[in-house]
Structure formats: structure tokens, C-alpha cells
Amino acid sequence: MPDLKGTMINRRKMLQGMAAAAVAAPLFPGLAQAASNKRKPKRVIFFLQNQGFDPYTAIPKGLKEDCSLKSFEFEEPIKALEPLKDRLHIINGLHGRHTSPSHSAFFGALGGYRGGIGSPPRGATIDHVISQHLPETVLPHLCIGMDSLPNMRSRPTLATLSATGPGKPIFMHSNPQALYQALFGSISTGEVRERYEARSNVLRSVERIAQQNSHGLPADEKERYSSYTDGFRDMNGLRGRLANISDHLKKFAPEYGEKFTNPEFETDWHDSLLDLGISALKSGITNTLTIGSGRGEIFGAWKGLGVDKQGHNLGHMPQPNNEIWVKIRHYNCRMLAKLVKELESMPEGDGTMMDNSLIVYTSNNADKQHTSGANWPFILIGNPAGPLKTGQFTQMAKRPINDLYTTLLHAVGAPADRFNMDKNLAENYSSKVGPIEELLA
């Protein structure tokens, strides 16, 4: 008699690997909720840089109290955002002490709860929750992660930042070749199309096999196993839905050139991933994009910027007036500016897509490496439908990052008293009911 249990375990391991390497179930958590409120923004982008975000790389010199940014020059690291100052809101002084960030808060950065290396998410993260309140799209939430070339090749997907609920991480896609194939394979030709067809056939076969083999499992095994069978069903469903809009997708697919196929530096793949994220937004197949530069961990590399140091060592050097960190922050800000420019190029309603978009820039590690989380800076770009103050610097005192996330929920038309904080935790960490009034117009 064959060892059914052992066979199931081996198959489950195989399915887990395949599910992580494709557009898995966490990327398609279900239909978005109805979005009849016309004041809701249509898309939100979260961009998190690892190793911390030192406020003195962003706050104009001399600023300590709330005021307009109009008459201030931006610091060198974020100089690329100066033309957008009337659309920005720089926020300093929020905290995330309860997330225990240290090297990273991991899921806690966007979840507002205790995180840790290897710890599963304790609840849904703000990016996913927002995605559920925006107009329905084919792919409600897309996550991409940028790292060194060896890491992106050896671990093409990784889950450390976003989650749909307790124990339900969302995988970031780090190999642009695989993501291009998943999103635009149905409209491709040549080798890309051949790989797309071959993988589609495999995924359909694996889905059938997985469903058949689940019947003889005990109830507890069957429940765990179902997450994989559901994942393959959703992957195949997503591929079918994308194929159905292939004529539309042709207008937005980025050029599949050398940066995709033969990257010299990791930044070639970073740029390619950003282009895929922008294409997904402009084509309307997603309305929530999360970008993890460093993928929520302590690694990451930027050799394409002339930065030889990488990984953990980058966190052990001060960021203000540091040539290396100026280059990395410059690169981030150029990406943010590109996002704005591309969304501005797309007409929407009486304006452009950027008029209905919000970009949230921060770090998964508060202000620095080995941090207590006592200060967690943010930059907001955009003001869809006008609920937020812009062109502003705000100095906060004591309130947790959860209160900012509550404010974002108000901004998307989904008001909440608190985000991921019960009453006892709120009392300990100075959380108040409702949004941060200082941030609202």
C-alpha cells in the first residue's frame, strides 16, 4: 500500500513552491466591496524602503512645527519631489513602538501590530483593507519586491509585508520575467508566449490533480490543503480573465527588452518591476500597488547606482548627508516622480488618473535600523477628491501609525474608529478614536 499521508505531504510541499512562484491566491483575495461613493480614490500605492527612513533626509531645515511647505527648499535626498511640493504632506512624529520593528516590523509595518522575522501576519494590512474598498478590478492588489539580483532569482516571490488576514500573507513578485508572463503572457509572442502556454497547461493539470487528491484527506489536513487548491483555481481564473481583455492589455504592456531579459544590475529589474506596476495601474487591472524596496527585510542592493555596500551593512550608517543614502533616496524619489508623471499622462474624468490616486511613502523599519519605532516618518503624495491637506508639514506627538491608517480609511470613504487596535492597546499607545484631524482638509 502506498503511503498516502507521506505522498500528500510531498505534494503539498510541491504545490506550496509552485503557488509561491506564480500569481498565488493571496494576490486574488476576492471581490472588492461595492464602491458607489464617487469621492473614493480609485487607486493607492504604498512604497516602503527598508533600513529605515531618517526624518532629517526629508524635513526641510528649520521645520519643527506644522506649516506650509511652500517657502521651504527640500533636502537633497528628496530633491526630486520638490516640483510636487504642493501635492505632498510630510508627516513626522508618529510611532510604531508596539510593532517591535528592530531590523524590520515585517507585516507589522502595514498592519500596525507586533511583527518579527518568520512570524506570520496577525491580521490584514492596511494596503489590502483599502483594496477591498476601492472599485473592483481583475487583480485587486499587486505586490512587487525589489532586492539584489541573486535574491530575486533564487526567491522570485516572498511574503513579508502585506496580508489579507491572520496567517494569510500576500506574495511580492520579484522576478519581472515571471510577472510579465503572468500579466501579459496572453498577448505575447515567441518564447514568452510559449512559456505562458506551457505554464497554463501545467497549472490546469495541477489544479485537477490537487482537487482529486484532496478527497481522501482527514478534515484538518483537507482544510490546510484547500488553501493550495484554491490558490491554483484562482491563478487559472486570473489568467483567464486577463486573456479575456487581451486587446485592452496590448495598449499598456511595457517593452520586454534587455532590462527584463539580460539585466546588468539589480536596478534594471527594479525599473522593470516598476514599469509592470505602472502598466497594471494604467490598464486598470489593479487599483492597489505595494512596492517593497528591500522586500521588507534587511537585504537589498543598488549596484546600478554605484553603491557597492548592500544588505544589513547599509543600516549601520547614518542616512543624513551620507552619499550612499542620498543615492538610494534619490532613486526612490525618481520612482515616485515617475509614478506621478505616468498617472498624470492618463486622462480620467475631468482630470487625470493622478487626481484619483494616493501614494504613501515610508519604511518598514521606522526611522533607522535597530529602531525602537519611536519615530516613523511618512510622505503622502496626492489628494484624491480632496480629503487630505497637501503642501504641508505636520509634526505629530505620540500617536501610532495605526491612526494614520485609520485616516487613510476615512480618505477612501471607509471610515473606521481604529485600525488593528483594541481599546487596551490604544490606551497604552496613545491611539485616539477616528482619523488624525491635523491631516484632514
Q: In a structure prediction context, what are the per-residue pLDDT tens digits for the chain, which is 441 residues long?
A: 333 333 333 444 334 444 443 433 333 333 333 334 444 678 999 999 999 999 999 999 888 899 999 999 999 999 999 999 999 999 999 999 999 998 899 999 999 999 999 899 999 999 999 999 999 999 999 999 999 999 999 999 999 999 999 999 999 999 999 999 889 987 766 777 666 665 655 555 555 665 666 666 676 665 555 555 555 556 666 777 888 888 899 999 999 999 999 999 999 999 999 999 999 999 999 999 999 999 999 999 999 999 999 888 898 899 999 999 999 999 999 999 999 999 999 999 999 999 999 999 999 999 998 899 999 999 999 999 899 999 999 999 989 999 999 999 999 999 999 999 999 999 999 999 999 999 999
Whole-angstrom Cα distance, residue 138 to residue 140?
A: 6
Contact residues for 262 (Cβ-Cβ < 8 A; gap 6+): none
In DSSP terms, 144 is beta-bridged to 173, 291
204, amino acid identity: R
Neighbours of 327 (CB within 10 A): 15
pLDDT at 232: 52
pLDDT at 196: 61
pLDDT at 297: 94
pLDDT at 202: 54
The C-alpha cell of 243 is what?
486573456
pLDDT at 62: 84
Report the run of H or E that residue 362 belongs to, with start and end.
strand 357-363
Contact residues for 147 (Cβ-Cβ < 8 A; gap 6+): 155, 174, 266, 294, 295, 297, 299, 300, 301
Sequential DSSP letters for 111-164: H-S---TTPPPSS--HHHHHHTTSPP-SSS-EEEEE--HHHHHH-SEEEEEEEE
HSE-CB of 313 using CA atoms within 13 angstroms = 7
Whole-angstrom Cα distance, residue 1 to residue 22?
A: 34
The C-alpha cell of 284 is what?
486598470
- Residue located via cell numbers 487625470: 352
In 3-state terms, what secondary structure has residue 291? strand
| Beta strand pairing call for 142-146 and 288-293 | parallel
The C-alpha cell of 379 is what?
510622505
Sequential DSSP letters for 55-108: GGGTSPTT--SSEESTT-PPPGGGGGGGGGGGGEEEEE--B-GGG--BT--TTH
Which backbone phi and psi does 169 adopt, to 5 degrees?
Answer: -75, 160
pLDDT at 172: 95
pLDDT at 245: 87
For 394-431, b/e burial (b = at least 16 CB within 10 A) is bbbeebbbbbbbbbbbbbbbbebebbbbeeebbeebeb
- Quick one: which of 196, 327, 316 has its CA closest to 265? 327
